[in-house]
Structure 1
Amino acid sequence: MESQAVSFRVAKDDLANAVAWVARSLPSKVTQPVLRAMVITADDNGLEFAGFDYEVSTRVKVSAEVMEPGRIAVAGKLIAEITSTLANKPVDLRVEGTKLLIHCGSSRFELPLIPLDDYPQLPELPELTGTIDPQLFIESITQVAAAAGKDDTLPMLTGVHVVVDGDRVEMAATDRFRLALRTFEWTPVTPDVKANLLIPAKTLQENARTLDPHQTDPVEIAVGQGDQVGREGLFGVHTENRETTTRMLDADFPNIHPLLPKTHTSMASVPIAPLQEAIRRVSLVTERNAQIRMQFSPDQLILSAGGTDSGHAEETIPCSFIGRDELIIAFNPGYLKDGLAVVHTENVVFGFTEPSRSAILLPEPDDFKEATPEPDSDGSFPTPETDFTYLLMPVRLPG
């Protein structure tokens, strides 16, 4: 490997934040050792840190004092671990032979350079498609990704389905046991833009987790859908000094809209915080993935779990319930808690049809809070207008 005399000085926090962010996306297990690398480019504009594993690419730029420009690569996760432990002093990095020397205060490290001969070409960010408020982007991804599948043998369920129609965006995810749907408005580059995307949920979650919700600049979204050579099927996110690209999933997302009930035989409004606490206590006696039973009546909700062998727990909390006199339904407590965690209102509204059919969880709308909804002529209650729906399959009760 031909060495080059790369040398630069950078603020410790800038360096630590940049390498930590890139290292998060680097694979732990690789078929090609070169994919463990973090590529560092030093030039007149400062430093760029990048990583790529053929699926996800990350780039971040920071200012630095560059004495000798050049492009090198080192083990990404290792340099991230090292920089996180350094003292809060300027960090000097320079290449000597086939090693990168790191000096910070009284600390000194030597890292072997990784040859760049076999490193894949980093994909370019596609053209800008639209922009979105950072807080809205983070909230929408967090809400929807909660329902995405983890089973890689069903790739169509490990993604978030994103449908763009002008200024309206719909995000959805399902693992067959629950479903999350969020709609919101964004600012497209062209008003007639349309897109149908399936993006890996874990990559979107990583994007949301590392964004600053208080940043003033909007998040830029860039989509390449096969109309540009070398940019086919790429979903790109650019914000301030960071950008990522993700290869989209080549799978068909199921048609979820027929699963969403339009009307309900009964509905309930329950305060979320007391419900979460009650579920946490009652589910202590459940075995793994066992159900938690919910018995709704006009003024109260009785939560219960367990049986004769594992013990029994029961707790009553107040609720508003309309429709039939009583309803008993059971859910997986983990899936129920996931749904409640992403409903961002004080109360959650449940919509029921039958105890054996899916129920929905919604943020409580203002009109539901102010007055009891009136049933239609057939005695059913229409689904309130909402930008978020979490649908949950019940667990079959014995008998």
Structure 2
Amino acid sequence: MKFEVDRDVFAESVAWVARSLPTRPSIPVLAGLMIHAEGESLTLSSFDYETSARVDVPARVHDEGTALISGRLLAEITRSLPHVGVSVATDDSSMELDCGSAHFTLQLLPTDDYPVLPAMPAETGKVASGDLAEAVSQVAVAAGRDELLPIFTGVRIEIDGETLSMLATDRYRMALKELTWTPVRSDFSGNSLVPAKVLSEAAKSMAGGESVSIALSQPGNGQGLIGLAGEANGTKRRITTRLLDGEFPKVRHLMDVRSTLTVRCSTSDLIDAAKRVALVAERNSPLRMVMGTDSITLEAASGDHAHASEQIEAVMESDGDPMAAAGFNPQYLLDALGALDAAYVNFSFTAAGKPCLLTGIGSLDGDPLLDYRHVIMLMRLPD
């Protein structure tokens, strides 16, 4: 195999594929990155029996062929190369890589034991790449990180005709995003639970293209797979991953909060105030939001050592006796506010210790933007 390729495109593509490599591969060859040169392009790929990543890179191929090389090592090397063209040639046991005055000789891994990558399922529909990246980032922030509870580490994708919904929860917060997409069949409906980490990486890396194709496997064609395909930086990218097993908790009804108190304020002002006040908050202690007549006050303390408070303007409406204060996990609050992407935030409270719904609004007297909803379980405040 012998080819020449643009250094920047090659380095970025190798890095993208290498991110899917397992940290502790079950067999040594799974640490490898497969390079296949044919026609006028290279196909770089990786697979760990769960997630596969493939990217097609334009190249000047002189001799076609296939080689398996240590993916993380190749990523380190290509990232450090000078910004000139890259030439690669392989024989039966090694790879020679030249870039300017830099020269590397790398040992090849055996390809005989490398698994066959799964085929992409049939396309289910397309969505604008920017819309997908934004939606996934808004929802994935509420997904769990504990691998011992895999169901909570996923994003539930629900399809109902032209509506694509995404839902995630770690049991203490929930996020729901609804967007319009173009299905292959207008009457298609279904759902799947996708690892949030893989979905986030795929959506982010394909945000530069026009659209992303989503493919959910059908019975008899790779049951339990989702595939995403798109473009970025002149390369075609494809990811497949196994769906998570198990029943996602029924939490959608928690989005339908019937508020007894609503609070509206500037999103940016609240983010800035929360960041400052949270600096003195003890670990696992709440950030207190105290309700005033036309303002809210954020308070936090670390025992007798430090205390902070800050007041910002707010508009309130109550139905009955208003709550005096609410307790938030500081990071959960900041994550939700950062995901809203709206000038103002609307808090819908029911009672102390009950779920609180956050939605974005364009103006203080406008209607809530219900395409994105974020629920936070309030923390118990000390007496």
The question of 1:322 aligning with 2:322 is answered no
Equivalent residue, structure 2, for 1:238: 229
The question of 1:52 aligning with 2:47 is answered yes
User: In the TM superposition, what is the alpha-carbon distance from 1:258 to its structure 2 partner?
Assistant: 2.7
User: In the TM superposition, what is the alpha-carbon distance from 1:298 to its structure 2 partner?
Assistant: 2.7
User: In the TM superposition, what is the alpha-carbon distance from 1:365 to its structure 2 partner?
Assistant: 5.1
What pairs with 1:9-158 in structure 2 (closer than 5 Å)?
Answer: 9-158=4-153
TM-score by length of 2: 0.95
The C-alpha deviation readout for 1:285-308, integer Å capped at 9, x for no partner, is 112232110012231110001154
User: In the TM superposition, what is the alpha-carbon distance from 1:280 to its structure 2 partner?
Assistant: 1.1
1:149 match: secondary structure = coil
2:14 match: secondary structure = helix
User: In the TM superposition, what is the alpha-carbon distance from 1:275 to its structure 2 partner?
Assistant: 0.9
Tell me, in whole angstroms, the C-alpha distance in 2 between the residues paired with 1:393 and 1:84: 43
Contact preservation (8 Å) 1:298, 1:325: no
1:107 to 1:75, Cα distance in 2 relative to 1, 3 A: same
The question of 1:344 aligning with 2:337 is answered no
Tell me, in whole angstroms, the C-alpha distance in 1 between the residues paired with 2:285 and 2:14: 42
Tell me, in whole angstroms, the C-alpha distance in 1 between the residues paired with 2:353 and 2:110: 59
Equivalent residue, structure 2, for 1:390: 374
1:339 match: secondary structure = helix
Tell me, in whole angstroms, the C-alpha distance in 2 between the residues paired with 1:291 and 1:164: 37
User: In the TM superposition, what is the alpha-carbon distance from 1:385 to its structure 2 partner?
Assistant: 5.8
User: In the TM superposition, what is the alpha-carbon distance from 1:325 to its structure 2 partner?
Assistant: 4.7
Equivalent residue, structure 1, for 2:220: 228
Q: Which of 309, 317, 325 is equivalent to 2:304?
A: 309
Give the unaligned 5+ runs of structure 1.
1-5, 374-383
Equivalent residue, structure 2, for 1:380: none
Greater mean alpha carbon deviation, residues 244-253 or residues 303-312: 303-312
User: In the TM superposition, what is the alpha-carbon distance from 1:347 to its structure 2 partner?
Assistant: 0.7
User: In the TM superposition, what is the alpha-carbon distance from 1:28 to its structure 2 partner?
Assistant: 1.7
What pairs with 1:371-386 in structure 2 (closer than 5 Å)?
Answer: 384=368, 386=370
Tell me, in whole angstroms, the C-alpha distance in 2 between the residues paired with 1:86 and 1:152: 36
Equivalent residue, structure 2, for 1:218: 211
1:251 match: secondary structure = coil
Contact preservation (8 Å) 2:257, 2:350: no
1:308 to 1:22, Cα distance in 2 relative to 1, 3 A: closer
User: In the TM superposition, what is the alpha-carbon distance from 1:212 to its structure 2 partner?
Assistant: 2.9
User: In the TM superposition, what is the alpha-carbon distance from 1:254 to its structure 2 partner?
Assistant: 0.6
Contact preservation (8 Å) 1:143, 1:182: yes
Aligned Cα RMSD in Å?
A: 1.4
The C-alpha deviation readout for 1:274-330, integer Å capped at 9, x for no partner, is 111111111111122321100122311100011542311111111111114553000
2:378 maps to a residue whose letter is: P
TM-score by length of 1: 0.91
Contact preservation (8 Å) 1:286, 1:306: yes
Contact preservation (8 Å) 1:298, 1:322: no
Tell me, in whole angstroms, the C-alpha distance in 2 between the residues paired with 1:327 and 1:297: 8
2:266 maps to a residue whose letter is: P
Contact preservation (8 Å) 1:273, 1:346: yes
The question of 1:358 aligning with 2:355 is answered yes
Tell me, in whole angstroms, the C-alpha distance in 2 between the residues paired with 1:23 and 1:270: 43
Tell me, in whole angstroms, the C-alpha distance in 1 between the residues paired with 2:4 and 2:345: 52
Equivalent residue, structure 2, for 1:376: none
Equivalent residue, structure 2, for 1:264: 259
1:387 match: secondary structure = strand
Contact preservation (8 Å) 1:298, 1:326: no
Give the number of aligned pairs.
377
